[in-house]
Amino acid sequence: MEIKPNEVYTTEEAGALLKVSSSTMKRMLKSGLLRANKFGKQYRIMGHEMLKMLSPDIDQKAVTAYQTIKGKVRSTTKDW
């Protein structure tokens, strides 16, 4: 299975992707190692957050590439 950056995962799905137990997921969320949003009593985790935790270097390269493309698009379309 592949972690998709823009996908939203439940704690169970994230645990399965990361191959960790539910208690480990709880510890990671409570310690702040993995960021999540809480809706009611349930957490939702962005795939981007899991990728950032697993490989900060790759995440930073992706963010830099995105910012570069975004800047080019803005400069190209500003006169429209």
Residues 6 or more apart from 44 whose CB is under 8 A from it? 8, 9, 10, 36, 37, 38
Confidence of residue 79 (pLDDT cuts 50, 70, 90): confident
Alpha-carbon gap, residue 22 to 12, rounded angstroms = 7
**Which pLDDT value is given to residue 12?**
95
pLDDT in tens, 11-70: 999 999 999 999 999 999 999 999 999 999 999 999 989 988 888 777 777 778 888 999
What per-residue confidence (pLDDT) applies to 66? 81
pLDDT at 53: 87
